[in-house]
Amino acid sequence: MRYIVTGAAGFIGSNLADTLVASGHEVVGVDCFTDYYDPTAKEENARGLDVQRLDLAETSLDLDGVDGVFHLAAQAGVRSFGDVFPLYVRRNLLATHRVLEAAAAAGVRVVFASSSSVYGEAESYPTSEDATPQPISPYGITKLGCEQLARAYAVGFGLDAVALRYFTVYGPRQRPDMFFRRVCDALLDGGSFEIYGSGGQSRSFTEVGDAVDATISAMERAPAGALYNVGGGDEASMLEAIALLEQISGRTLGVTHVGAAKGDVRRTKADVTRIREALGWEPRTGLADGLTPRGQVPAGFDPEAEQEVDFGRYWRLIAARWWLVAAGLVIGAVIGYSISLGGSQTFKATATIYLGQPYTASGNVPLQNAQTNPSTVRAIAHSEAIIQRVAAECKVKPADFRGGISTQALAGNIAKNGQTAEVAISVQSPKRRVASCAANGLARAVVEKTSGFANQKIANFRKQIFIDEKQVALINQALERGGLSATDQLLLQLRLATTQQDQLSTSQLLLQATQVEAPQVLTGATAQKVTARSRRNTVVVAALIGLILGAIAALMWDGVAAGMSRRRGE
Ligand code: UGA
């Protein structure tokens, strides 16, 4: 067959022309070698092909002896707002107009390149050809205009035209302004890649060999007026695609995020049911395969290179969604602060008890008993009977302080023996009065319960002193009455001295019993306001938790957002 391929020096056109030639067809290439990107790259693409330099917006095609026209010449690139729009009108609408005029006049079939851009933010995913086109870029509008123009020529002049909506085609000779080329160039020369927006936007990437097969099948077998999606099977976000190329290359890409590009759609996903049923075409090359063996991945990359954990990538994901991390930090801190406020107001009162040190009756040898064991204090302070009694004294409910009782042994004057003479009893309660009253009540109860030995001793000594005093009084009376023999008088005086001696030592023992041996409340309790949790710690811990959750959300964001948007569309 003899075909004309317009845009034969371009990305898809040159691949198509090569395949047609390789299949034995005669190809006449047409291209006007615009300077949208380096024309020498186009010269290179067109090497070995018969390519005429021709501006289709001004010159009509000569279709004499031609079996079909593949019209791929176009001003490509969806980021097309601003001063460049007239170029899009000229190179797409005006040029296509001339091609269609010529084809209609010659009765020659035209298969032409339209674009997934006509869908804009598509109304559903996967997007079928029946979806309402609503392009959001000037480029997409000119492509939709070309479709409409072809339809008008079909209706008006019987034009046999087939439109192919290509979905982000990639592969050898890809235009240097396109995503994969820029990523590969940056990976090769170590430069930085500018990603538009978050990188979460996704595409149905289509391998150029698959796109060429669909285009030739459309020329050969599609019914007149057909319109097909030509879309790849693998959808990937830009971040996923970067990760894949990093994995294949074994290199790490430096990425900077710039603002989202106007006209750039969030997602494309092709429904290829129609072309599959009509032409038996479907994409065969997955993204990983499409990128690995063909020329798209620059030479010198080693796909077998050992893969390392790429922390840079994780860091980039987090940096792209830094506001999630910041939001996590702030929300965590606010929650922590609220927690530290709510329910944290509490009062603590502490009484200190001197437990006392019992001695033998002679007052020389220290004794150990329940009184000298700090565990006794814990047992008494936590005893339900004591708690109930103290609650009644304080006129509160036992539940108001039961959970807030604690005891702590303090180092005392004989602590080196493993014992302690002082114990603190603390009570925490949301109510100031309850804390003070209960701590003092418990302290008194402990003293009362542990004072038995000392109290008995004190009572005995007092009795002994009373007896001695009586005896001294009697002796003094007898001595004063007189009439005693000299011997009796001496005996009584001796007895008086011994009794006074006894009285003195008993007084000394009484002093020891009251001051040393008897337990006593050393310091009474006064409630102080405390925070149950340290406010600073609570805020810091909650903020850290928020930060970590924010970082996890940032790492997962793109996958979850893509999944949700896929589910919504499907
Ligand atoms: C591509 C072609 O460029 C259009 O000519 C074609 O019509 C269109 O596919 C289509 O399928 O209709 P696009 O999907 O934007 O358009 O493909 P790329 O230029 O490769 O861009 C892919 C994604 O990478 C876009 O979201 C773009 O914003 C992003 N990108 C591209 C960057 O983040 N940084 C860049 O430097 C280049």
Nearest-CA residue for ligand 1 atom 23 is 179
Query: Which atom belonging to ligand 1 lies closest to the Cα atom of 195?
Result: 33
The three-class DSSP label of residue 452 is helix
Q: What percent of the chain has pLDDT over 90?
A: 75
Number of domains in the chain: 4
Task: Give Cα separations from 528 to 36, 298, 442, 535 (angstroms).
Answer: 78, 73, 17, 17
Q: Does ligand 1 lie within 6 Å of residue 116's CB atom?
A: yes
pTM over 0.85: no
State in Å: Cα 170 to ligand 1 middle. Answer: 10
Pocket test residue of 168, 182, 205, 234 for ligand 1, highest count of atoms within 8 A of CB = 168
CA 404 to CA 423: how far, in whole Å?
16
Task: Kindly report which listed range (47-56, 262-271, 308-317) carries the lowest average pLDDT score.
Answer: 308-317
Tens digits of residue pLDDT in 290-315: 987 554 443 334 444 444 455 666 77
pLDDT digits over 140-164, tens only? 999 999 999 999 999 999 999 999 9
Residue 281 shares a structural domain with residue 375: no
Same domain, yes or no: 540 and 556: yes
CA of 560 relative to ligand 1 center, distance in Å: 22
Q: Is the pLDDT of residue 567 over 90?
A: no
Strands (DSSP E) contained in 317-404 are 345-354
Under a CB-based contact definition with an 8 Å cutoff, are residues 72 and 218 in contact? Answer: no
Q: Is 249 in the pocket of ligand 1 (CB under 6 A)?
A: no
For residue range 409-425, list pLDDT tens digits in order: 886 554 455 567 889 99
* 424 domain-assigned: yes
Which residue(s) pair with 204 in the sheet?
235
Cβ neighbors of 541 (< 8 A, separation 6 or more) are: 336
Residue 234 inside a domain? The answer is yes
129 and 248, same domain (yes or no)? yes
Query: Is the CB of 78 within 6 Å of ligand 1?
Result: yes
Instruction: Tell me the chain's radius of gyration from C-alpha atoms.
Output: 49
Residue 97 domain-assigned (yes or no) = yes
Does any domain span residue 514?
no
513 located within any domain: no
**Do residues 557 and 323 lie in contact, with contact meaning Cβ atoms separated by under 8 Å?**
no
Boundaries of domain holding 385: 347-453+519-529
Contact 253 CB / ligand 1 (< 6 Å): no
Catalytic residue among 119, 139, 170, 354: 139
- Atom of ligand 1 at shortest distance to CA of 238? 24
Task: Say whether pLDDT at 114 is over 90.
Answer: yes
439 and 325 in a common domain: no
Distance 322 CA to ligand 1 centre (A): 25
Do 256 and 315 lie in one domain? The reply is no
CB 189: neighbour CB atoms within 10 A?
8
Give SS3 for 470.
helix
Q: Is residue 282 part of a domain?
A: yes
Tokens of 108: 């020659």
Residues 495 and 387 occupy one common structural domain: no
- Interval between CA 166 and ligand 1 midpoint (Å): 12
Q: Which residues pair with 480 in a beta bridge?
A: none
CB of 324 within 8 A of CB of 485?
no
CATH of the domain at 121: 3.40.50.720
Same domain? For 222 and 367 the reply is: no
Pairwise CA distance, residues 361 & 355, whole Å: 19
In 10 A of CB 186, how many CB atoms?
A: 19
Give 32's contacts (C-beta < 8 A, 6+ positions apart). Answer: 53, 54, 55, 56, 73
My answer on whether 16 and 165 are in the same domain is yes
Cα–Cα distance for residue pair 294/304, rounded to 1 Å: 15
Distance 310 CA to ligand 1 centre (A): 25
The closest residue, in CA terms, to atom 7 on ligand 1 is: 115
Same domain assignment for residues 144 and 256: yes
Same domain, 263 and 405: no
Give the atom of ligand 1 at the shortest distance from the alpha carbon of 166. 11
Burial of 45 (0-12, 13-18, 19+ CB in 10 A): buried
* pLDDT above 50 (res 377): yes
State residue 140 phi and psi, 5-degree precision. -60, -35
What is the pLDDT averaged over residues 82-94? 96
Same domain? For 280 and 418 the reply is no
Specify whether 139 is catalytic: yes
Which residues, other chains included, contact 527 with Cβ-Cβ below 8 Å and sequence gap of 6+? 347, 348, 349, 429, 432, 433, 435, 436, 439
Domain finish residue from 246, 276, 304: 304
pLDDT in tens, 450-463: 999 999 999 999 99
In angstroms, rounded to a whole number, what is the distance separating the alpha carbons of residues 103 and 242?
A: 42
**The pLDDT of residue 304:** 46
Is there an atom of ligand 1 within 6 Å of 194 CB? yes
- CB atoms near residue 308 (< 10 Å): 8
Q: Quick one: pLDDT band at residue 530, thresholds 50, 70, 90?
A: confident
Residue 357 located in a structural domain: yes
CATH number of the CATH domain containing 363: 3.30.70
Same domain, 261 and 320: no
87 in any annotated domain: yes
pLDDT over 70 at 445, yes or no = yes
Evaluate whether 429 touches 399 at the Cβ level (below 8 Å): no
Residue 15: what pLDDT?
97
What are the pLDDT digits (tens) for 490-527? Answer: 999 999 999 999 999 999 999 999 999 999 999 999 99
Average pLDDT, the chain: 90
Distance 76 CA to ligand 1 centre (A): 10
201 lines ligand 1 (CB under 6 A): yes
CA of 178 to the centre of ligand 1 (A): 6
Q: Is the CB of 119 under 6 A from ligand 1?
A: no
Residue-level pLDDT at 415: 46
